[in-house]
Structure 1
Amino acid sequence: MAHPAILRNLVEQYEALQIRHADEGSIETLRRLEDVTYTLCVSTGTQTVEAALAVAEQQLTNALAETVPVAPGRAGTGVVDDEVRLTA
């Protein structure tokens, strides 16, 4: 399983290159898109970009859930400590 930061970066690159390729349609952009698609598939253990994106989304969601602080004594309940405030 790829590190979440690497996986997030691959997904962002894929999305950006898709838009760029749709706008430009250049061979260079297509090659870069194919490279990122291949790497994304290898990183997620899948064979299609659709499956890779679905697995990446699930892995990133799981990684985010693991970083949310849980109140002492309530571990595993999903209850977040009232004192914790997340900001953007």
Structure 2
Amino acid sequence: MVLTPDPRVVRGLLARYAELRIAGTRGDAERRALDDVVYTLCVLTATTTIGDALERADALLASAPAATAAEAPPPDDVTLVA
């Protein structure tokens, strides 16, 4: 049995990863936040590098059914812990 991550969670993590990469890591807090997102993406996609995680996440989203208007977005108050 293979568990497939919720596409909403994957999209949220990809958005957070992009946001942190664009903003740059100006300090320890930002660097830790980026590290947490990278770690979580790797765990969620069963990979060991961010490149592989991004590739797997893209494939998961490509194969996921289209989101419907009735689906709620992922919560914004999720705390990522390494």
TM-score between the two structures when normalised by the length of structure 2? 0.72
Residue number in structure 2 paired with 1:39: 40
CA distance in 2, matches of 1:67, 1:34: 29
Q: Deviations over 1:10-58 (max 9, x none)?
A: 0000010111125xx2111000000000000000000000000000000
Structure 1 portions without partners, runs of 5+: 69-88
**1:62-77 paired onto structure 2 within 5 Å:** 62-63=63-64, 66-67=65-66
Larger Rg: 1
CA distance in 1, matches of 2:46, 2:59: 13
Percent identity of the aligned residues? 36
How large is the RMSD of aligned CA atoms in angstroms?
Answer: 1.5
**1:45-64 paired onto structure 2 within 5 Å:** 45-63=46-64
SS in 1 for 2:36: helix
Structure 2 portions without partners, runs of 5+: 68-82
SS in 1 for 2:38: helix
Higher helix share: 1
Residue number in structure 1 paired with 2:8: 5
Shift of 1:67: 3.5
